[in-house]
Structure 1
């Protein structure tokens, strides 16, 4: 659960603007400049032959330099930037271009007000009345709307999806891009798909009922220089400049097949067995393996991740804090086969005993009870919503080796699911992260899993693969599981003043191991 360092790939520009809707004109062009002919160069035709073109670079350039301000465009072709400050960017009658860095920035456009484009440096879903999005960040998800969208990935390891219109999806990056299509998304066209070699691309097909690659291949046809996938419901995907013989199972993120696996761990949360620190008996430990396990002065060090600047202390009913009596704080509740992990404000009466931590929450690990090398690890959960919450399900090696860590999922209170592999050393870290949008992550239960083999790591959401990569060289030893709800931190930010508490609901945790020889779900094409 290392906090990733998200690069801001856009420079700061000088200038101020007063409060309200009156921006100050910036004479200098933004640092992310586009050549005059880029709009013409970035023109693609959708399945109906309609040209989808980026908005032109206009004469008006407006930059937000304070938090919470509003930038209002004019009737010309304007460029509006938040430059990392939470802002409202409001277009007018021209063909407008927006640069969005801050997660709290809102873009507003009315219908029939030109063709508009968003350059996004974080996860982004196009708002109403905005036509196109360019994914300029790394490891994010970019999603269209109901219009005919042009969705372009220029960053690394991004996921792109069109939405309900007849869209065009383009990969202009050198790394693996995930193209996501769902039943009802219409007829979409893909440009720049790489089927083989380094940085080969992936396609995820949701809701079509495909069980394996043979099902998909039966729906494929060669149409001149292109491959067309005719889905059973009438949706269509056209992969430009592609031969059917170049595509393989490795290019498709498909449902997991566990017929060759057996269950090795099953926690249904009918009861909760916590490790007794005096005897070591029990299933779930409530502290990290690192840090002091029992000192009244430094006991907090195994109950939070200070490098992440988290605000919570992980507690359990037997924790004494700096005192000598159990405080009876219990963040865990079992009801109807569901575990609730509650993160909330620390009661004022016990805050001095708990090293003045502002929040309490819960952590469960199998460090002393269960570990496994390779296999499928899955949790079914409903995630909390709002600023400052950070639930996770992740794996750590039983014998620490550098920073090896496998995050089955992390979430920061919204609809973006982050799935990540950390490897290497502290001085030379290697991180591969993937983001996927799950619109109902906070309102419904979903499954989040990872299939870890000697060759590949493949993540799953609701039983369908969401991302895949080669297994890191230092990820070949037993790993144990952790389930936790952090509060605050340097990645997702801290809760607001109105925060009372949040619940992370877990239906089950299950682990599977190969039963004999199990096929790898994906491998690098050759």
Structure 2
């Protein structure tokens, strides 16, 4: 796949650009489904070998963008080793609820001790007063490009800061794509008696390319956002290691759509390609409208994971009003579903050759009714055996794959993975709806996952695995 940069470095080129032709809805024909999470089963938490959702943030942090809120999960313990017992997640009626609340006074001492042990400064230890939750695919799935959708009702009340976003699956920041960020109330700065309905859309990036090179010191423009005949410049913020840029838009949902994000379920989506990033909004998947578009920055071209959370407080969201805690924390982040689609490979290779070799590009390798051996390389690949007793030879660190028609006669040959026995492989299998996932967490690197379409856990045995040393 050719990955073309769309950052525009010279504004004069676009002074005569025509207004953007807004699409009626995303073109789903260019994507393949990866995860359709409808929360119709107990929450699938990553436990080190299996599970979709990791319930703690990157780099094992308990605190996100600063106190006063703390991300908790059931593995956190008191000083005596017993469970802390604070869990913000509940699956009920086919929906996921992420709650937030003040830390009970009886638990605060243990929470402070836990933070000190984790190395937090005393100022942060003394500031934390609330707990909340964060879920991500850091340990199970990441991808470059694709389509991401959530249907949710967002928490109201000053202090809430709910978000659905993409961040690099490896350490480092930026880049970041915010599918949405919503404040329960805009810092309380407008003196309004009720929450507003504004949705914040962002992509944060460097001027540094994926290969580490630097762009010339020029202003970056969004050619899709034309005001008075001119493309709008990215927001620029200076920092020690160079400028950071942001393409940004804020949408007043009530004014634009006559909808309420705190009282109604709405659908938020984003499509990300090598050329552009498009944000979508609507009451459902069937009536999505484009609300913003930006070029894909040249450092937003690597694997990213999905994360969604509800932070409490911080400089942007503002602190909750303690006199209104009963109202503020009665409102939860309610998620009906999350859907992740990968961008389908543009290259499809169909052959009846006995051995099928792939390249480092994203590809769809399709075999015939005969028995064949598949050797994909790097990238996101779709593999279709086509029949016969096939062998899929997949190296560690070569990227995630989807196998469309794995059967009991096929063999998965794994080389250089972090596990090397059939028993280990079988213990890592996770049933995700009709599909079967084999997850290999590789933090701080991107996870590697194999998805077997329409395959049941009971159909896999030790005979379906073979292990070979790398090389």
RMSD: 2.4
1:380–1:423 distance in 2 versus 1, CA, 3 Å: same
Aligned twin of 2:30:
260
Q: CA deviation at 1:515?
A: 3.3
- Count residues with an aligned counterpart: 265
For CA contacts below 8 A with separation 6 or more, give which structure has more relative contact order: 2
Tell me the distance in 1 between the aligned counterparts of 2:306 and 2:277: 16
Q: CA deviation at 1:323?
A: 4.6
Aligned twin of 1:304:
63
The answer on 1:284 being equivalent to 2:53 is yes
Aligned twin of 1:488:
313
Aligned twin of 2:197:
415
SS at match of 1:447: strand
Judge conservation of contact 1:488–1:494 (CA < 8 Å) in 2. yes
1:372–1:348 distance in 2 versus 1, CA, 3 Å: same
1:418–1:198 distance in 2 versus 1, CA, 3 Å: farther
Judge conservation of contact 1:253–1:467 (CA < 8 Å) in 2. no
Aligned twin of 1:48:
none
The answer on 1:197 being equivalent to 2:14 is yes
Q: 1:14-413 to 2 correspondence within 5 Å?
A: 197=14, 246=18, 250-270=20-40, 271-276=42-47, 279-290=48-59, 293=60, 302-305=61-64, 308-355=65-112, 357-413=128-184
Tell me the distance in 2 between the aligned counterparts of 1:281 and 1:433: 36
Aligned twin of 1:513:
342
Judge conservation of contact 2:56–2:73 (CA < 8 Å) in 1. no
SS at match of 1:251: coil
From 252, 255, 264, give the equivalent of 1:444: 264
1:489–1:321 distance in 2 versus 1, CA, 3 Å: farther
Tell me the distance in 2 between the aligned counterparts of 1:268 and 1:474: 32
Judge conservation of contact 1:375–1:512 (CA < 8 Å) in 2. yes
SS at match of 2:58: coil
CA shift digits 1:420-454 (9 cap, x unpaired): 00111753211111111122100111111111100
User: Which TM-score applies when normalising by structure 1?
Assistant: 0.48
Judge conservation of contact 1:253–1:466 (CA < 8 Å) in 2. no
* Structure 2: stretches of 5+ with no match in the other structure: 1-9, 113-125, 185-195, 209-238, 255-259, 283-287, 348-471
Judge conservation of contact 2:149–2:270 (CA < 8 Å) in 1. yes
Judge conservation of contact 1:382–1:506 (CA < 8 Å) in 2. yes
- Name whichever structure is richer in helix by fraction: 2
Q: Considering only CA atoms, is the larger Rg found in Structure 1 or Structure 2? A: 1
The answer on 1:499 being equivalent to 2:314 is no
Q: CA deviation at 1:517?
A: 4.3
CA shift digits 1:88-116 (9 cap, x unpaired): xxxxxxxxxxxxxxxxxxxxxxxxxxxxx
Q: CA deviation at 1:339?
A: 0.3
From 234, 241, 246, give the equivalent of 1:431: 246
CA shift digits 1:149-199 (9 cap, x unpaired): xxxxxxxxxxxxxxxxxxxxxxxxxx99xxxxxxxxxxxxxxxxx9x9259
1:391–1:378 distance in 2 versus 1, CA, 3 Å: same
Tell me the distance in 2 between the aligned counterparts of 1:446 and 1:253: 19
Judge conservation of contact 1:415–1:437 (CA < 8 Å) in 2. yes
* Structure 1: stretches of 5+ with no match in the other structure: 1-174, 177-193, 201-245, 294-301, 519-526
The answer on 1:455 being equivalent to 2:275 is yes
Tell me the distance in 1 between the aligned counterparts of 2:22 and 2:319: 38
CA shift digits 1:463-500 (9 cap, x unpaired): 21110111011011110011100001100211102223
